[in-house]
Structure 1
């Protein structure tokens, strides 16, 4: 397992850090430190385009498609320095980390030429149309349907939790294209423009007052017949390939954001005297230990080159960080006390730590609930019998 970096890699770190900090202290200082994914959306899109102009948007992609052919170590370093500099989360995360790699792996040359330059330049924003009211963690239960009508697919159904659909240009959709099929069979992976009469996007207000998520309704929405990725009925394989990209190098950048949150909690505890309480010191130490263990686990996971074996670290990572951050949110509120219950502004505007608490309540639910994660660990990692799926 690789736990350090070479001098050349540290030189790359310095280059990335210098550039990112210069932007956050200069032209884009107004977006530094923003935690909401919907705040200053137009400026955030401008930031995506600025990243693309300077070759920092998708550094792990091939240079042919706007990347830098960056090594895994360089991608990890950039993700860490991105979070360390206080740069807000990517509003085109879905395009850069999921849609783009999926197109590189499964798309035709024509599809790559059609989509990848726009994603890399920040001019094409993507969102994801997977979950439905009755198909969240159980993705194979999707009921959204698509049928061919001449040279177009016609889509009817509903998706939910479509992050940033309100600012997205395209959505990739898993739809059932073979009547009568169940489970993973008969699904097709489609790419659709969001700005059309057949798509209705409705925001979902979250507990922290934000509206990052949306319901997306399809009523006769259309896309060209060649907009599918892979073959008809091959959507499950493509979707599973896409989800495998979700646990990539961004995990280390995510942990740097966690580091920033924990450091702010420690600073608050020192300021209000809670750091002198042995119980709070113990809880802060436990949080520190958990964060360091996650880093080592992520490095081990990313260092694994034997893809023929099930990676236990990869199976446990989601439940590990989600549970840790949920506890971190509770620690933040306990440290702040009554101060944490008062918003900074006249509207529903929370500072970093109260917002951490509110947002982290969902961490153990989205992206696969803790219950689903335990099933994956048991069945795929430990080889235990599958959970009964019901009796017909």
Structure 2
């Protein structure tokens, strides 16, 4: 039996109606406890961390098998994963750059769905300009002592650990003197303040470190080598799971089309042209994603730029096909209204469109700064 067929059968036997469609961007507040329990069930059955070696609970799955499983998961309308930051970002980073002790300590709980992670990169004055981070850390009595502030930290309010870029060499500037630290979140000296979004939900947070501590060994790579490790982590952000993401986009587009039929907007030639263009662009997105899956370098910025701009336009289209009805609520946001509001952030988080264009220009096309 293929891995795709095996997962399909497992989902058919285990996925219940109360889990379907829960969570996702703009809806991370939905059923967190249910989804956390589901994450543990996935881990116990071996359906997390498919690409990882068997010794860490993975299946050493090939890239085509990973893509197939992400698509199957999305096709089943299974709940949004609560462990993706651990599985998709810090896990591969520790696998490639961590010590044997770090792999033994951190990878199994991620695979089992027992420990959740968040990413401590952006700061109030260092968002797109990540090299400007000012959160500092110093060694004292066998521990890193961390002081500073991070912002837009996804799911920090439910995370057990944070991987953070910190300045560990006093007086250093830009890419120099940065280190990549693993910091426990549930300790004195860590304060998480949720940020209320346009959607009324709070999946992003401010995180304040006030002499928070982590063991001296909880550094990935060498002191001062943090920039290289941080860039490696960003490279994992645009992997096989993006193919599953596009199935979610396909469902959203179908909902927009249905809304256009109900409102009669589909008879408007200009709106019909926009709907057709959106469908064509989604097909291009899939083909481009397949083309770039084996490219771990700056070319992946093409994928982020493309999907984020497309998704934001889809949100605008969702409002256009509803007409005036899209401007009112019955006390809560509809799925299409939430799509519009949350997708405004798509071209900012995970690397703004402006930064992605710079990366494509300078690192892929070789143009001058």
* TM-score class normalised by the smaller sequence: over 0.9
In the other structure, the counterpart of 1:186 is 177
User: Aligned partners of 2:102 and 2:255: how far apart in 1?
Assistant: 44
In the other structure, the counterpart of 2:363 is 380
Q: Would you say the 8 A contact 2:149–2:208 is kept in 1?
A: yes
Q: Does 1:78 align with 2:69?
A: yes
In the other structure, the counterpart of 1:333 is 319
TM-score by length of 1: 0.90
User: Cα gap change, 1:375/1:149 in structure 2, threshold over 3 Å: closer, same or farther?
Assistant: same
Pick from 334, 354, 360 the counterpart of residue 351 of structure 1: 334
Pick from 85, 99, 102 the counterpart of residue 108 of structure 1: 99
Q: Would you say the 8 A contact 1:315–1:381 is kept in 2?
A: no
User: Aligned partners of 2:12 and 2:277: how far apart in 1?
Assistant: 31
User: Cα gap change, 1:153/1:247 in structure 2, threshold over 3 Å: closer, same or farther?
Assistant: same
Question: Can you list the C-alpha shifts for 1:282-307, whole angstroms capped at 9, x where unaligned?
Answer: 11100001000011101111145xx7
TM-score by length of 2: 0.96
User: Aligned partners of 1:95 and 1:112: how far apart in 2?
Assistant: 13
Question: Can you list the C-alpha shifts for 1:22-71, whole angstroms capped at 9, x where unaligned?
Answer: 433x2xx2131124112221111101101101110111111111111111
User: Aligned partners of 2:14 and 2:322: how far apart in 1?
Assistant: 32
Q: Does 1:302 align with 2:290?
A: no
In the other structure, the counterpart of 1:224 is 215
Q: Would you say the 8 A contact 1:177–1:188 is kept in 2?
A: yes
Pick from 100, 114, 120 the counterpart of residue 129 of structure 1: 120
Matches within 5 A, 1:252-331: 252-304=243-295, 312=299, 314-331=300-317
Pick from 13, 22, 39 the counterpart of residue 34 of structure 1: 22
Q: Alpha-carbon deviation of 1:311?
A: 6.2
User: Aligned partners of 2:187 and 2:94: how far apart in 1?
Assistant: 23
User: Aligned partners of 2:110 and 2:6: how far apart in 1?
Assistant: 24
In the other structure, the counterpart of 2:3 is 12
Q: Alpha-carbon deviation of 1:262?
A: 0.4
Q: SS where residue 232 of structure 1 aligns?
A: coil
User: Aligned partners of 1:228 and 1:280: how far apart in 2?
Assistant: 52
User: Aligned partners of 2:70 and 2:327: how far apart in 1?
Assistant: 32
Q: Alpha-carbon deviation of 1:19?
A: 2.3
Q: SS where residue 158 of structure 1 aligns?
A: strand
Q: Would you say the 8 A contact 1:38–1:164 is kept in 2?
A: no
Q: Would you say the 8 A contact 1:325–1:360 is kept in 2?
A: yes
Pick from 232, 236, 242 the counterpart of residue 245 of structure 1: 236
Superposition CA RMSD, Å: 1.5
User: Cα gap change, 1:311/1:226 in structure 2, threshold over 3 Å: closer, same or farther?
Assistant: closer
Q: Alpha-carbon deviation of 1:90?
A: 1.4
User: Aligned partners of 2:176 and 2:241: how far apart in 1?
Assistant: 31
In the other structure, the counterpart of 1:143 is 134
